[in-house]
């Protein structure tokens, strides 16, 4: 189905509302598949797909879908390894584009080889750089956990749980890598802890000397006999060394590597030289790179066959997110019947009006509950200003567009004939004069060109020309539409005149029934079939009569009598 004039704006607003509810970019592609169509079979197929899909949206699923993110495996050139190959393998190895390639041994943290000069590999990406597969999965564990739970909730299963179990193998390595990032802080903390322990020991230390020993101590001090001095503090020195060994043991256990950092002869307070920290960092990184490579290699061998299924699991999650968003959008809606003979709905609710009054309306053949109402392809909608006539045209446009997308419509029940074209001409409140009239008339005539199944919705054409001319023009336009079998709903204040001109048309009316206690208009937005709507100006004049005094009131009373 093709949209013309202002119908495109309403379609755009519907799409924007749906997009606003979809939280995964990948789910938007499913919305693109719901383009407007006129084929009855395809509309029904989409309805069946959505009905089945909605049944999969269980409580709690939305919160899980919110967690899922795409898992992207990016190709990178890794500078921490070299791949040593035969001369005739160089070109193939370089085509991988994953690391340095050489035919001779080089000094790298990781040395891989197809010729026995390092860790044996084949010229395959997951052999040379298994981390490029494993690390994105590790970083997206929340997505994997959500996919696992989604699979259980829907009963469709997922490979995410199996992948998560394999990833547990690198958890100790990843924890150590975190420690490497905070190595300076970790060493500083142990350094502070060590010095506090030494300080406590110094406070408790006592040195008792006899007179003779004191003379010898002073003599050694004068002569600079360090060995003799240290011998007298040997007990304390041993205690300090014990504290140093304890600090290094704690570090070694946390880092998984021997960490002999603290100087034994530097006095108090003890400080670790920065070069020792850097040397430890380099040793740790080198060891952990090797561990991570080897464990990633083992993991990828097990999970590589699962990755295509994982991709499908993510795509399924995106599809479920689309279904969730559509179900949320269409809460309380109904799938319309796809029929021949017009468009109608019962208790339709405008999509973009808060707490709208439900309205029932139809053009074409009458169906339940409209039995006995005049059937007509051409309708003239009359009645109160601000009574909801334009909103009714918008609602009809919304119902027709959603039906042709295969989506539910905002009504208790509805029926829609597959159409070839939908025209909606809004009233242009800022357009007046000959130019505006000519433009509008050309648009209406264009809508009447050709043949096929069309619904044409027109909002107050007479507003841009003289009433006398408008009756003649509108009447002839509607005759042409009737002859061609098009459906037309036109909003007009010329109901009496057009009713005389067009006996085949049904004239309906929306009425303002009176004024409330605050003198606000009471409007029933449900059109009365076959009845011209009561004009709002009469009620506005009545309000002015009630709120004015003196001579002004008498003038308003005379005007009001002209309506009655």
Q: Consult the annotation and say whether 384 binds a ligand.
A: yes
| pLDDT of res. 228 | 52
Q: Consult the annotation and say whether 403 binds a ligand.
A: no
**Calpha distance 323→52 (Å, rounded):** 10
**Calpha distance 141→37 (Å, rounded):** 41
| pLDDT of res. 483 | 96
**Calpha distance 185→182 (Å, rounded):** 5
Burial of 96 (0-12, 13-18, 19+ CB in 10 A): middle
Residue 122 has pLDDT above 90, yes or no: yes
Distances (CA, A) of 159 to 144, 150, 171, 303, 532: 9, 11, 19, 9, 65
Q: Region 58-77: what's the mean pLDDT?
A: 95
Q: Consult the annotation and say whether 103 binds a ligand.
A: no
pTM of this prediction?
0.83
Residue 37 has pLDDT above 60, yes or no: yes
Q: Region 115-131: what's the mean pLDDT?
A: 96
Whether residue 411 contacts residue 349, with contact meaning beta carbons closer than 8 Å, is answered with yes
Q: Consult the annotation and say whether 276 binds a ligand.
A: no
Q: Consult the annotation and say whether 210 binds a ligand.
A: no
| pLDDT of res. 278 | 86
| pLDDT of res. 229 | 45
For residue 229, report the phi and psi dihedrals to the nearest 5 degrees: -60, -50
Task: Round the average pLDDT of the chain to a whole number and report it.
Answer: 88
Name residues whose C-beta falls within 8 Å of residue 381's C-beta, 6 or more positions apart in sequence: 389, 392, 393, 489, 490, 491, 492, 508, 509, 510, 527, 533
State the Rg of the chain over Cα.
42
Q: How far apart are the first and last CA of the chain?
A: 47
For residue 490, report the phi and psi dihedrals to the nearest 5 degrees: -125, 130
| pLDDT of res. 509 | 93
Q: Consult the annotation and say whether 389 binds a ligand.
A: yes
Is the sign of the CA dihedral 133, 136, 138, 143 positive or negative? negative
| pLDDT of res. 230 | 46
Whether residue 90 contacts residue 102, with contact meaning beta carbons closer than 8 Å, is answered with no
Mean pLDDT lowest among 24-38, 41-55, 183-197, 456-470 = 456-470
Residue 338 has pLDDT above 90, yes or no: yes
Q: Consult the annotation and say whether 7 binds a ligand.
A: no
Q: Which residue ranges make up each domain of the chain?
A: 2-9+333-513, 181-285
Name the DSSP letter for residue 207: -
Distances (CA, A) of 104 to 107, 370, 524: 10, 89, 89
Q: Consult the annotation and say whether 443 binds a ligand.
A: no
| pLDDT of res. 182 | 81
How many other CB atoms are found less than 10 A from the CB of residue 238?
9
Residue 224 has pLDDT above 60, yes or no: no
Q: Which CATH number fits domain 2-9+333-513: 3.40.190.170, 3.40.640.10, 3.40.50.300, 3.40.50.261?
A: 3.40.50.300
């Amino acid at each position: 189905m093709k949209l013309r004039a202002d119908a495109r704006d309403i379609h755009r607003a519907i799409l924007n509302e749906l997009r606003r509810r979809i939280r995964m970019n990948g789910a938007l592609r499913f919305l693109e598949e719901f383009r407007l169509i006129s084929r009855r079979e395809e509309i029904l197929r989409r309805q069946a797909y959505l009905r089945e899909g909605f049944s999969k949206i269980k409580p709690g699923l939305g919160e899980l879908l919110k967690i899922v993110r795409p898992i992207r495996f990016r190709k990178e050139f890794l500078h921490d390894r070299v791949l040593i190959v035969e001369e005739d393998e160089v070109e193939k190895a370089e085509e991988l584009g994953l690391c340095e390639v050489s035919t001779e041994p080089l000094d790298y943290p990781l040395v891989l080889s197809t010729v026995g000069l390092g860790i044996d590999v084949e010229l395959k990406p997951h052999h040379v750089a298994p981390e490029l597969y494993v690390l994105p999965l590790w970083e997206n564990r929340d997505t994997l956990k959500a996919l696992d739970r989604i699979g259980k909730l829907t009963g469709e299963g997922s490979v995410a749980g199996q992948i998560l179990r394999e990833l547990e193998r690198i958890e100790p390595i990843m924890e150590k890598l975190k420690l490497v990032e905070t190595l300076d802080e970790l060493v500083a903390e142990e350094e502070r802890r060590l010095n506090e322990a030494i300080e406590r020991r110094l406070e408790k230390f006592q040195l008792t000397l006899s007179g003779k020993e004191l003379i010898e101590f002073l003599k050694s001090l004068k002569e600079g006999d360090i060995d003799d001095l240290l011998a007298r503090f040997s007990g304390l020195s041993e205690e300090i060394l014990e504290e140093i060994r304890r600090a290094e043991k704690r570090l070694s256990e946390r880092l998984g590597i021997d960490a002999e950092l603290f100087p034994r002869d530097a006095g108090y307070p003890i400080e670790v030289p920065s070069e020792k920290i850097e040397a430890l960092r380099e040793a740790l990184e080198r060891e952990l790179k090797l561990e991570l490579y080897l464990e990633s290699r083992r993991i990828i061998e097990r999970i590589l066959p699962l990755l295509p299924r994982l991709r499908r699991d993510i795509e399924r999650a995106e599809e479920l997110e689309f279904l969730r968003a559509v179900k949320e959008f269409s809460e309380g809606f109904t799938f319309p019947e796809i029929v021949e003979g017009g468009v109608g709905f019962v208790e339709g609710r405008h999509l973009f009006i808060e707490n709208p009054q439900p309205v029932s309306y139809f053009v074409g053949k009458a169906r339940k509950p409209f039995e006995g109402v005049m059937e007509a392809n051409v309708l003239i909608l009359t009645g109160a200003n601000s009574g909801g006539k334009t909103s009714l045209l918008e609602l009809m446009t919304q119902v027709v567009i959603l039906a042709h997308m295969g989506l539910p419509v905002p009504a208790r029940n509805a029926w829609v004939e597959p159409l070839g074209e939908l025209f909606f001409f809004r009233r242009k409140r800022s357009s007046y004069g000959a130019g505006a009239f000519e433009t509008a008339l050309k648009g209406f005539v264009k809508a009447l060109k050709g043949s096929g199944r069309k619904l044409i919705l027109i909002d107050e054409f007479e507003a841009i020309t003289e009433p006398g001319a408008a009756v003649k023009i509108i009447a002839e336009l509607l005759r042409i539409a009737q002859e061609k079998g098009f459906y037309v709903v036109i909003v007009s204040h010329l109901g009496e005149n057009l009713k005389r001109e067009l006996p085949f048309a049904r004239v309906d009316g929306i009425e303002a029934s009176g004024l409330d206690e605050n003198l606000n208009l009471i409007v029933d937005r449900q059109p009365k079939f076959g009845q011209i709507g009561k004009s709002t100006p009469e009620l506005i004049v009545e309000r002015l009569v009630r709120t004015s005094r003196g001579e002004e009131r008498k003038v308003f009373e005379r005007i009001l009598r002209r309506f009655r």
